[in-house]
Structure 1
């Protein structure tokens, strides 16, 4: 019956998303919200967790970094697993792992156990996004990727909006343990809906799993991020505990890259990078994640540490950013399909730069309307940037290539995000230590102690504000770097063909 409809073949499918695609989107969105909500909730709770476990910021930040390490190490397996076992089965397994990690994290008895249980969460969370994106892209087809990414993106922004608010309220009024327990009912619903609504897909057990590649890439990523994140505690890059794991990680990653060009079924298909659009999108998204994740880590800390806000109020103050993104993300996704991602991403980056620039001037008494306005403008830019870049990366790929491409994209995004978080936290820790004349690992604790003392509060607030302003300046520099590759993103809508033989052969 659909073949007798008026208009060009497939035109109706391009113009709107049918109910089947929207049901799939709803399931994927629920799982994604669960993972993203947990990340933003924890960011707001870091100061409370540091006090709860009587530890320093460079230790408690491993609650975030350990999670991101697990994400980076498990993502390389996801592309192969999607092909081998089917995306529906893998997606449900990811939800179960995330649920188990959430429950035991809520029962943690010290900081070491909390970090370990967060890693279990990360193993599930690392598979949720690439598997979900694969499911969504296959359901929608390449001509609706931008539209479907917008559908995926808007509810996902409930995490950045609701996460800090919910996390702040739970920390202030209930218990930090509930920032993890809250995932349980969401995850149970997501698991039931995935079982009922996601289409059953065929597994393709034709390729052998690249175990040697996994043994090089996953530990390599973990060692590299571990080394970088140890810089604040070690006081510099010359320390053995910094450069040795980082160097070992680089050697393993380099070995993986050399091997991947010489075997028929690598864990990450490097031949995808022969696609110019995919490569440009990957460079752009990597630079964007370095700037974005770094800034997101320190924004709540500024409000809590320098301005003396509670965790709940800090979460409320971050809401304008998510609201701004919710307004522009549906428009960005629709326009990316119609005019090309390049024409959307560049204006989005301009807005992000303008919003971030506001925070390069923060101090102890910067007016809140200015800060909230900067966050709102930043959010408007995010809506025009995040999903159109992802859509550009996937729109020119065949259905057969999507699973591997989604994994490659998520590996780069999570690795860049972890590196960005580590770099920005290093910069902030060093600046605070310099302002208060203490070792790098003690900078935030010294600032907190002096800010709580009425006699030193004024001087400490001014010094800490300067440190945050300089830190945001570095985030702005990283964001500026995104502009160069973004200039080369496609400025035309994707072609209506769904097959590109050279990528098909590359993936097979």
Structure 2
């Protein structure tokens, strides 16, 4: 009865006022959130096309350069579980403003990092990840509290432009900035990997200032006590676990001290963390949301979609530059239509979810994703660039068909008061999936390439033969990476059949509200 009364109250909620009872512009705040979160998500994959340049400037190997992504995902994975506590404890505007300041600081440190200190560059990347770990889940919780259920599919679709388009457009963005000098607000920007941090810094600075005027406290706060044991278990568990995977690319899978041991220790602490949450009256991260079958399935499928996307997205720029000998800019142009496809389809998929449901869209999306990935297994030096562009665009179409409907479906499966914990749990799973797949692909691809490289003596005796066999070795490595991405798409396609075909984000809540209002 109490639950029905709460639902009856929800139907009368005025979404145009904040938690203090003050009127505010929801759309102005939404646009600011989307721009700010886009800035943090852009940083996740923007170094994709810059890796060869970073390898040269910092004098590091490919596996070391990939740490710019894996360590980003590590810090991101540590922060996401903490976001539910922070969103409940602290005012929304304060959290956003702080996140933007941290993001700006991280960009500046990476921008100014000397080429003699790779560690300084990584520190800047990790600060950027801390901000992303806060803003991404916080955005989804804000949307649920800012808009009524009937608009959730379309609004989540707009959020999909950030979550999907940001990482998708990152490689193109960085390739364009590194291609030649650019004039930005009257300032000539050099063709350098540093420029990819400078432009977003200006945007984030503007968003930070505007946040003090346009942001409002929309997430209900309460004095939640910080459980230090849970915090320590979370940081150590997720941090050490992900750190073990980040070492795979450089140390291999058999190194006990830096790979196997950290992964085992991480699993132990994560297990202890989960058990503690199940026994706390006010859990640090309420993992009981996974008792909801629909939420669990959507989270699993979202993780698979993320891994399928990263399986190609992280390696395709390297393939284009090392096998097709394209510049960073040209490789970015090849990927641009796919990024735009992601941005166009995401909001449309959110609207379609309100009408046809997550199950059908997910099955269709994974089908398109798998079909679009199969030809990647047969890429070679003669594969036309426009063919790569078309197939990449097809893959992004499939990804967009999956991501936003499933995100909306996951939020729909939970009561409003559990959304913060649901979002944090969902985002944690995706962060773990991203970190694991990047480490997996980096190590597997590097090992396959290394094992198939010709003898160095051939480089002297027959340079042309050496170059041809080296390209063949690279192709085998990239084909392996693409095959793993295909595997995740196929598994996602199968699991999608077990989903309930809910229609419209919040439709279940609406039905309960209507029932509550009639009783």
Structure 1 length normalisation: TM-score?
Answer: 0.88
Secondary structure of the residue aligned to 1:491 is: coil
Q: What is the rounded CA distance, in whole Å, between the counterparts of 1:368 and 1:181 in structure 2?
A: 30
Secondary structure of the residue aligned to 1:397 is: coil
Does the C-alpha gap of structure 1 residues 499 and 51 become closer, same or farther in structure 2, counting only changes over 3 Å? Answer: farther
Q: Are the counterparts in 1 of residues 454 and 466 from structure 2 also a CA contact under 8 Å?
A: no
Secondary structure of the residue aligned to 2:254 is: coil
Indicate yes or no: 2:347 matched with 1:330. Answer: yes
Secondary structure of the residue aligned to 1:376 is: helix
Aligned partner of 1:16 in structure 2 is none
Which has the higher mean CA deviation after the structures are superposed, 140-149 or 403-412? 140-149
Q: Are the counterparts in 1 of residues 301 and 492 from structure 2 also a CA contact under 8 Å?
A: yes
Instruction: Please give the residue correspondences for 1:9-408 in structure 2 after superposition, counting only pairs within 5 Å.
Output: 20-109=25-114, 110-154=117-161, 158-160=165-167, 162-173=169-180, 174-201=191-218, 204-408=221-425
Does the C-alpha gap of structure 1 residues 97 and 307 become closer, same or farther in structure 2, counting only changes over 3 Å? Answer: same
Aligned partner of 2:485 in structure 1 is 475
The alpha-carbon deviation at position 237 of structure 1 amounts to 2.6
Aligned residues: 476
Q: Are the counterparts in 2 of residues 214 and 267 from structure 1 also a CA contact under 8 Å?
A: yes
Which has the higher mean CA deviation after the structures are superposed, 411-420 or 338-347? 338-347
The alpha-carbon deviation at position 418 of structure 1 amounts to 0.7
Q: What is the rounded CA distance, in whole Å, between the counterparts of 1:296 and 1:369 in structure 2?
A: 16
Q: What is the rounded CA distance, in whole Å, between the counterparts of 2:511 and 2:53 in structure 1?
A: 52
Q: Are the counterparts in 2 of residues 146 and 337 from structure 1 also a CA contact under 8 Å?
A: yes
Indicate yes or no: 2:466 matched with 1:459. Answer: no
Q: What is the rounded CA distance, in whole Å, between the counterparts of 2:487 and 2:165 in structure 1?
A: 28
Spell out, residue by residue over 1:5-46, the C-alpha distance to the aligned partner (whole angstroms, 9 max, x if none).
xxxx89xx9xxxxx9443232112101210122223211111
Query: Moved runs in structure 1, 4+ residues, more than 4 A?
Result: 155-158, 498-501
The alpha-carbon deviation at position 232 of structure 1 amounts to 3.0
Q: Are the counterparts in 1 of residues 165 and 342 from structure 2 also a CA contact under 8 Å?
A: no
RMSD, aligned α-carbons? 2.4
Does the C-alpha gap of structure 1 residues 372 and 71 become closer, same or farther in structure 2, counting only changes over 3 Å? Answer: same
Does the C-alpha gap of structure 1 residues 248 and 181 become closer, same or farther in structure 2, counting only changes over 3 Å? Answer: same
Q: Are the counterparts in 2 of residues 324 and 378 from structure 1 also a CA contact under 8 Å?
A: no
Aligned partner of 1:497 in structure 2 is 509
Spell out, residue by residue over 1:157-200, the C-alpha distance to the aligned partner (whole angstroms, 9 max, x if none).
55356432331132233221111122211102222333222332
The alpha-carbon deviation at position 437 of structure 1 amounts to 5.9
Q: Are the counterparts in 1 of residues 107 and 197 from structure 2 also a CA contact under 8 Å?
A: yes
Q: What is the rounded CA distance, in whole Å, between the counterparts of 1:104 and 1:499 in structure 2?
A: 50
Q: Are the counterparts in 2 of residues 336 and 344 from structure 1 also a CA contact under 8 Å?
A: yes
Q: What is the rounded CA distance, in whole Å, between the counterparts of 1:500 and 1:204 in structure 2?
A: 24
The alpha-carbon deviation at position 202 of structure 1 amounts to 6.1
Aligned partner of 1:5 in structure 2 is none
Q: What is the rounded CA distance, in whole Å, between the counterparts of 1:204 and 1:492 in structure 2?
A: 30
Does the C-alpha gap of structure 1 residues 123 and 499 become closer, same or farther in structure 2, counting only changes over 3 Å? Answer: farther
Q: Are the counterparts in 2 of residues 224 and 248 from structure 1 also a CA contact under 8 Å?
A: yes
Gapped runs of 5+ residues in structure 1?
Answer: 1-8, 14-18, 439-445, 502-508
Aligned partner of 1:506 in structure 2 is none
Does the C-alpha gap of structure 1 residues 202 and 221 become closer, same or farther in structure 2, counting only changes over 3 Å? Answer: closer
Does the C-alpha gap of structure 1 residues 411 and 162 become closer, same or farther in structure 2, counting only changes over 3 Å? Answer: closer
Does the C-alpha gap of structure 1 residues 403 and 418 become closer, same or farther in structure 2, counting only changes over 3 Å? Answer: same
Q: Are the counterparts in 2 of residues 85 and 203 from structure 1 also a CA contact under 8 Å?
A: no
Secondary structure of the residue aligned to 1:44 is: coil
Secondary structure of the residue aligned to 1:206 is: coil
Q: What is the rounded CA distance, in whole Å, between the counterparts of 1:123 and 1:467 in structure 2?
A: 32
Gapped runs of 5+ residues in structure 2?
Answer: 1-10, 16-23, 181-190, 514-519
Spell out, residue by residue over 1:103-128, the C-alpha distance to the aligned partner (whole angstroms, 9 max, x if none).
11111112111112211111111101
The alpha-carbon deviation at position 249 of structure 1 amounts to 0.5
Q: What is the rounded CA distance, in whole Å, between the counterparts of 2:414 and 2:252 in structure 1?
A: 44
The alpha-carbon deviation at position 402 of structure 1 amounts to 1.4
Q: What is the rounded CA distance, in whole Å, between the counterparts of 2:42 and 2:468 in structure 1?
A: 34
Q: What is the rounded CA distance, in whole Å, between the counterparts of 2:278 and 2:104 in structure 1?
A: 37
Which has the higher mean CA deviation after the structures are superposed, 236-245 or 315-324? 236-245
Secondary structure of the residue aligned to 2:139 is: helix
The alpha-carbon deviation at position 343 of structure 1 amounts to 1.5
Which has the higher mean CA deviation after the structures are superposed, 223-232 or 44-53? 223-232
